[in-house]
Amino acid sequence: MRVACIHVPQLALQAVLRRSPELRGTPVALTEAPIGRTGRAGRAHVVMASAEARRAGVRVGLTAAQASAVCPALALNPRQAADTEAAEAALADLGFAFASHVEREPGRVFIQVDDLGHLYPSEEALAQVIQQRALRMGLGVRVAIADRKGTARVATRARERVVVPAGKDAAFLAPLALAVLGEPLPAELAEAFGRWGLARVGAFAALPGADVGLRLGPQGARLHRLARAEDDEPFLPALPADAIEEALALDYAIVEVEPLAFVLRGLCDRLLARLACRSLACVGVTLRLALETRTFDVREVNLAAPTRDVGPLLQLVRLELSRRPPDAGIVGMLVVARPARARGAQLDFLRPAGPAPDRLAATIAKLAALVGPENVGAPRTEDTWREEAVGLAPYAPPGEAPGAAAPAAHVMSMRRFRPPEEIEVMLGPEGPAALRGRATTARVTVAAGPYRLSGEWWRRNASGEAPGDSGFSRDYWDVHASDGALYRLHHDRVGDRWYLDGYYD
């Protein structure tokens, strides 16, 4: 079995750089306040520093004030668990981009690469591609490929990228320093190696295994088997997470939509990059906003079709926040993406291409923000005889089968006025003889009707009482007017009024 180990050195620091890529190449340090015996936090100390900060003299253990005095351009960031957890999850998604079986460790993932030889010309090329893919996700990784998990893990501590030839694990480990066997090497073992005069892994591996176990205990025996490339550590893959989420804690409260959208763009970018690693797209997000009032505001944003483009997704989120702003300032946020398979649309030779699904979703969201979500949707037939009755259902793009034939029969449609226009009608011996409204005045040349409809008298109002005259009883007429139009009228027999419903087209 060939195993690749992908390791992220200084994971907590890289998690901050992944969240704030503008800090790359500048002095950056992570601070953490130790908790004293009284349970109160002490002064913040530097727990991790970038290479640029170390070159400027910043060292682990300095207080925040001391580090700023040593390097005035130093960017201090508090260590946050949300950043580290997101980076760990992104590292796992990187593993799933190359293999279906991934084992996770803090700061590392292991994948089986036996079958990847059909896709890449060599294991060296595979390791290079893994590093390039990790850089696009904002992570700098070390990659090692070997026969055993232990050898691959040790190799990531020694070099940036290494491929150990098959069957050569022991030969590769022999010239390495003993310190690479542990992270860090236990103090009692390091002291014993110093007394014995051992400096290289090969010298330690040459010792008798039984004597090493007798003098150094189980931990020393395990390291000795690792030095000989005889460790039998099993490969224990785990299933990918069902939901992909990114969280962020803010230093100060945000009360306006534009700054919030700027922060959300980074979260959505990282979410979609992780989804792309697993060959998935986003069909919607759940947004949980932590407010200053110590409450949460949860929003659901759905898309009409899965997408990997951050533009439409961010636009929908902004429209949702603009339509109903949060009640207080926002101090933190969690974005959970709902993954879905992205399916390509099959074009038809005989029909023009329809709108892009993600742009269609953005357009529907804009309409919902303008007129309200309850007024946007697809028409739905109501269970009533009232002709103007229409309901709304959530809009879903129809799935047309390729080559489906268009209906051959064509019928007249009516352009209906909403609400119907109240008009004056002059009656003759055979029905309406003339009509007059705000924009229509004409004689009736031909009248067909009446078509009597009534109903809904059984419905109750909100208090449970009978609705009285809320039912309908109407006489409908189709009339051909002298202006050349064909109108639909109705006479409300309950209120004794005439209305113009629309005209035929």
CATH number of 249's domain: 3.30.1490.100
Domain-ending residue, one of 340, 362, 384: 340
Residues 97 and 166 in one domain: yes
Query: Is residue 397 situated within a structural domain?
Result: no
How far apart (Å, rounded) are the C-alpha atoms in residues 45 and 65? 9
Query: Is residue 238 situated within a structural domain?
Result: no
How far apart (Å, rounded) are the C-alpha atoms in residues 145 and 238? 20
Q: Which residues contact 247 (CB under 8 A, 6 or more apart)?
A: 82, 85, 86, 332, 333, 334, 335
Residues 444 and 481 in one domain: yes
Amino acid identity of 146? Answer: A
Measured N-to-C along each axis, helices 11-19 and 257-277 cross at an angle, to the nearest 10 degrees, of 120
Residue with tokens 């919030």: 260
**For 101-113, how does the pLDDT look when each residue is reduced to its tens digit (9 = 90+)?**
899 999 999 999 9
Mean pLDDT of 353-362: 67
Query: Is residue 253 situated within a structural domain?
Result: yes
How far apart (Å, rounded) are the C-alpha atoms in residues 99 and 128? 16
How far apart (Å, rounded) are the C-alpha atoms in residues 479 and 433? 9
Residues 22 and 157 in one domain: yes
How far apart (Å, rounded) are the C-alpha atoms in residues 68 and 390? 67
pLDDT of residue 401: 42
Domain-ending residue, one of 304, 321, 340: 340
pLDDT of residue 116: 86
Query: Is residue 117 situated within a structural domain?
Result: yes
Count of structural domains within the chain: 3
Do 493 and 474 touch, CB atoms closer than 8 A? yes
Residue 264 in this model has a pLDDT that exceeds 80: yes
**For 192-225, how does the pLDDT look when each residue is reduced to its tens digit (9 = 90+)?**
999 999 999 999 999 998 888 889 999 999 999 9
Q: For residue 323, give its domain range.
A: 244-340
Cα 116 from chain centroid (whole Å): 28
How far apart (Å, rounded) are the C-alpha atoms in residues 249 and 253? 10
Residues 9 and 135 in one domain: yes
How far apart (Å, rounded) are the C-alpha atoms in residues 256 and 375? 27
Query: Is residue 77 situated within a structural domain?
Result: yes
Q: Which residue has the higher pLDDT, 83 or 38?
A: 83
Query: Is residue 406 situated within a structural domain?
Result: no
How far apart (Å, rounded) are the C-alpha atoms in residues 96 and 7? 15
Based on its alpha-carbon atoms, the radius of gyration of the chain, rounded to whole angstroms, reads 36
Q: Which residues contact 179 (CB under 8 A, 6 or more apart)?
A: 185, 190
How far apart (Å, rounded) are the C-alpha atoms in residues 437 and 481? 13
Residues 446 and 486 in one domain: yes
Residues 109 and 20 in one domain: yes
Query: Degrees (nearest 5) of the Cα angle 308, 313, 318?
Result: 165
Convert 289-299 to b/e letters by CB count within 10 Å (16 or more is b): bbbeeeeebee
How far apart (Å, rounded) are the C-alpha atoms in residues 420 and 401? 38
- CATH number, residue 17: 3.30.70.270
**For 452-492, how does the pLDDT look when each residue is reduced to its tens digit (9 = 90+)?**
988 887 765 544 444 444 678 899 999 999 998 999 999 99
Q: What percent of the chain has pLDDT over 90?
A: 42
Amino acid identity of 192? Answer: A
Residues 269 and 220 in one domain: no
**For 16-50, how does the pLDDT look when each residue is reduced to its tens digit (9 = 90+)?**
999 888 999 899 999 987 755 555 556 889 999 99
Residue of 99, 86, 105, 83 whose CA lies nearest to 23? 83
Cis peptide before 450 (omega within 30 of 0): yes
Residues 151 and 16 in one domain: yes
Mean pLDDT of 298-303: 86
Residues 321 and 425 in one domain: no
Residues 191 and 257 in one domain: no
Query: Is residue 351 situated within a structural domain?
Result: no
Query: Is residue 223 situated within a structural domain?
Result: yes
Domain-ending residue, one of 289, 307, 340: 340
CA distance to 45, 57, 84, 357, per residue, from 53 (Å)? 14, 7, 20, 47
**For 427-453, how does the pLDDT look when each residue is reduced to its tens digit (9 = 90+)?**
988 899 999 988 889 999 999 989 998
Residues 221 and 283 in one domain: no
Going by pLDDT thresholds of 50, 70 and 90, the confidence category of residue 404 is: very low
Residue 398 in this model has a pLDDT that exceeds 80: no
Q: Which residues contact 273 (CB under 8 A, 6 or more apart)?
A: 90, 136, 137, 138
pLDDT of residue 468: 46
pLDDT of residue 470: 63
Do 264 and 336 touch, CB atoms closer than 8 A? no
Residues 184 and 266 in one domain: no
How much is the pTM?
0.69
* Continuous segment of H or E residues that includes residue 31: strand 28-32
Do 449 and 478 touch, CB atoms closer than 8 A? yes
